[in-house]
Amino acid sequence: MKINRDKIHLNPIMTYVIMIVIMMAISVLFALLRLDATYIKVNPNSKEFVNTLVTVESLLSIEGLKYIFSNTVSNFVSFAPLSMLIITLIGIGIMEKSGFLKTVFTILTRNVKKNTVTFYLVLICILSSIMGDLSFIILMPLSALLYLHGKRNPLAGITVSFAALTFGSSINLLFTAKDSALLNLTLEGAHILDPNYTLGIWCFLFVSMVAVIVMAFIITNIGERVTAPFFGKYELNDEPTEVDKSMADIVEEDKVIDVHERRGLRFSLIGSGLYLIFFLYNIIPGLPFSGRLLDDSQALYIDKLFSYNSFFSNGFVFIVVVLFIIAGLLYGIGAKTIRNNHDVCDNLGHSLDGIGKTLVLILFASAFISFFKYTNIGSVFVAKAANLFDIINFNGIPLVVLLFIVGILSTILIPVSATRWQILVSSVMPVMMNAGISPEFTQFIIKAAEACSLSITPLFAYFVIYLALLQKYNQDSKPIGIFKAIRYQLPYVLFTVVFFIVLIIIVYIIGLPIGINGIVKL
């Protein structure tokens, strides 16, 4: 009997289940083989270098089974993208249902070239990394709606925004909380050979500026020339559901913004502006009664803003959601699309309609990520890759390219930047410095490698949000699985890899400064 493979389409939920089963089997095999690795870790308190042994743990051992049954629910509940997604969708829901987003996006996209809209979207996504991981939760749903209101396929908007967001979370013009953590680890690695080595926060500025500008154009062109034509036109179903009926209002012919919509927009802008002024004033240090939302125990401003003890950081998601609610509510009142408390409550829950499948998807994705982390498979292989640098005898361009490749593979196994760099830095940094390559250029190579591969690893927590949004707007009878979602990102990944290899080699050969007091060669 011949199997028709065209009829076999795994749901992404089932794909995660299969991947969990395969990972269990691999963890048992590696544990039986006693696979382990050692790396040097810096004690944050004593600043001493400690040899750390990491071994593969079996998920089917007694301890592994205890972990599975004891932590699956708690990992799901504490999974950061879940809580942020739900509360953010509440704010987006009232903005969408009240008509605020429709009016704003109509104004932004009407009489503007598609390339221009996409370029500004990409640039905003790249620069938004100052918000941390929240940028993924906010900008991907908004990108889908931007394309939808612009009469384009929202799948193209989701794909291009995810590519830009993953790139921007690694390479950016702005110094972020992630950069601060990585810079501290880089200095710890550099101090193995040179205890007096120092780095400034702008040491990557020049090369990052080039990368951001060039990649903004590259991502835009791939989005317009490759992914957008591939997805084609967004059509309504023949028998519209309630969601489709709301879509019908979105894709109607362009119309002039009427007096009610203009009034709603004025109300929204005034209210949102006053709200923003209040919070911006409270994150500016040195002014009378200002800076109350900062953590004054930190030295760098970015750490004062986004440290664990900062009120601004802890309440940032809710601050943004309240902004969305104010914008949508005041618009609805001014435009008369919200007339009573029932309208307000219905609008708040609008974006949560049909979220059940997304929750199930997040459940299995969080389990997969948590189980993989427990097995230490990623940590062992990254540590073994780090130990290669003590064995090989590469110099110059081969050494730089090797680090770039190791960075890409390490990102796929450990998407968390600080965790990955903590394993790599103690082995990589002395080798690079002995080869005459500066710590700041070494860190830039690692950041560039992450920018190339973060979008294609299902171990990245926000990959599941990208996958869920693709499912939400998918009109094909065939589900968009994990590997298809990865294929959508491959054109961006391939061009990014080529660009960074060329950029890194050119910068290394020429030896120009990569930033303010940032050098390439020692």
Dump pLDDT digits (tens) for 386-414. 888 888 888 889 999 999 999 999 999 99
What is the mean predicted confidence (pLDDT) over 428-443?
Answer: 92
Report whether 124 contacts 373 (CB < 8 A): no
Q: Is 340 part of a structural domain of the chain?
A: no
Q: Is 127 part of a structural domain of the chain?
A: yes
What is the mean predicted confidence (pLDDT) over 87-93?
Answer: 87
Domain that holds residue 128: 9-78+111-253+354-510
Residue 175: CA count within 13 A, CB half-sphere: 20
Dist. CA 321–CA 87, nearest whole Å: 7
Dist. CA 316–CA 58, nearest whole Å: 38
Q: Is 291 part of a structural domain of the chain?
A: no
Q: Is 326 part of a structural domain of the chain?
A: no
Dist. CA 454–CA 471, nearest whole Å: 20
Q: Residue 315 corresponds to which tokens in the numbers above?
A: 């309440």
Look up the pTM and report it. 0.89
Chain segment 143-168, per-residue pLDDT in tens: 999 998 888 899 999 999 999 999 99
Residue 324: CA count within 13 A, CB half-sphere: 24
Please name which of 182, 150, 333, 345 lies closest in space to residue 251, comparing C-alpha atoms: 150
Q: Is 103 part of a structural domain of the chain?
A: no
Residue 90: Cβ within 10 Å count: 19
Q: Is 131 part of a structural domain of the chain?
A: yes
Confidence of residue 47 (pLDDT cuts 50, 70, 90): low
Q: Is 100 part of a structural domain of the chain?
A: no
Chain segment 62-87, per-residue pLDDT in tens: 999 999 999 989 889 888 888 888 88
Q: Is 286 part of a structural domain of the chain?
A: no
Instruction: Domain count for the chain, please give it.
Output: 1
Please name which of 10, 95, 81 lies closest in space to residue 468, comparing C-alpha atoms: 81
What type of residue sits at position 25?
A
